[in-house]
Structure 1
Amino acid sequence: MKTALLMGTLTALLLGAAGVLGLYIGGSPVPYLTIALVLAIVINFVAYYKSDQIVLKMYKARVVDESEQPELHRIVRELTTSVGMPMPKIAIVPSENPNAFATGRNEENAVVAVTEGAMSLLEREELKGVLGHELAHILNKDMFISTMAAVIAGVIGYLGQLGWWITIMGGGGRDRQGGGIGIIGFILLLVFIPLAATIIRMAISRDREFGADRRGSEITQQPDMLARALLKLQSVSSKRPMKNGSRATSSLFIVNPFKRESLLSLLSTHPPTEKRIERLNELALEMGRSPVSYQAYQ
């Protein structure tokens, strides 16, 4: 429900940005609204079918068969069988950064990727917790939702840049409708609407992470193992940041692979690790398992 409300707000911002652009220029907002919707639809269509290939190529991930990674396949098969979902492809990312992500447009075309760093760092049950989290992302259709949010926020940013270029070229409502609407429209387009879109997109990302933590733990029945894995991943990841790829994809990973989370939590792609551990510990107690100490891994 929270994600649905955030997506609705993000869509409203897109429509608002198009409307403001029309008023700023001095004409009807309808053409710009049409442009925004067409852009969002086209980019979403391309991302829906090609994003998995793009991400795997970006991180040089290699799909491996069972003969190469028998234990990894065994764990994933055990988990997918327990929830009745298709077996995803499994890929290895050649990076010391300990991490994992899931990609693909649906359950039938999903890929779960694990870095070499995670394979060497985590114990079997901890790795199982991470894989359960990634399978939860697939079941929750988080890749599709995150892609939509990123595309809508990107189109809003594009409309803001368009307003900037119109201003440079001498256009804008200041000439046609007075200084007030021009200045207000400029500020809304260039600053407030794109910033609000970014904040909402990050909120969606954090909400989906909490959801995947919970559902993944329900799949494995071991929230404490996921908590232990998160603490290890966060601790080591900050010391071995990802050397290639794009920061724009950081929300795909189970922990941010590039740097510590932003001090401004509204702009963080992931919830604070402490909060994730706190929720996982509550779930562990509900399941009759032992909570994990955050300080023990600092």
Structure 2
Amino acid sequence: MNTDITETIRERVRQIEVTPSIPAIFHPLLKLLNSPPDEVNLDEVIKVASYDSAIAAQCLRVASSPLFGQSRPPDSMKAAIISLGLRRVETIVLTCCMGQAFAPSNWVLDPTVFWRHSLGCAMVCRKFSEKIKAHDHEKAYMAGLLHDIGFIVNSMSFGEQFSKAVAAACEQQIPLHEAELQHMGFTHCETGRALGEAWNLSGELIQVIAYHHQPENSETGRGLVALVHLCDLLCRVRGLDYGYYESSKVDLVADPAWEILQKTHRELQDVDLARFTFELDEDVRGIYELVSTIFGSPRKN
């Protein structure tokens, strides 16, 4: 990529309110939630979650929603967390922390649609990594969650150009990263990489952010990049897309990422892809309901 464009991206990232930082409770709470199930200290989770009023309020709000069918709303964080379960609490924490870092008021992309896809991809990455017996399911979850953070930078720092790219993607029914390249000269992969570096994310996560559309070009951690690429495609054909129809055909098994992943995970050859896809449907509905509870309905075009 052109050196001038690279420097422009880095400068724009620096200008996003001096690059938003992730709230302080993010890492300690995530560490608690990712402990083995029999080692999770519920009282400590409640204590840490309560330090952030926005997260505490969101847990209570979601636990009170019709989604969980409670006879009466929970009146404490403990009741809310027990009602939600640790997996949903983790999702709320991640969403709230990212939401606090980036106010969605000036996003080009609809934040509801963005979080549906990002959280959906995180969920699918975790399940798929479990299916193929990958060693770190939580890293796969985080990679799925963060793979498209460049869209946030493009919304906030390149709004006019990005709006044209989004409109072109919808009109031409092409993947958004292709429209970005046409109208911006770069994609969310480059801007996401710059943000990941500003946040001091791990090298593996930065590789995912930078190469999830071209896993064969990744420099390290190619298996994780390939996994996120496949799960990203799977989400886009199962209703966790960016709110418009893509006419391109998807064949996961024929995708180069499938071959990359098969070299490191032999269990992939035993995966019943049709069954796995079918099993996702209930989880997809849950993501829709949860994100709508937090962010409301998608914007009308």
TM-score normalised over the length of structure 2: 0.25
Q: TM-score, normalised by structure 1?
A: 0.25
**Larger CA Rg, structure 1 vs 2:** 1
The structure, 1 or 2, with the larger RCO (C-alpha pairs under 8 Å, 6+ apart) is 1
Which is strand-richer, 1 or 2? 1
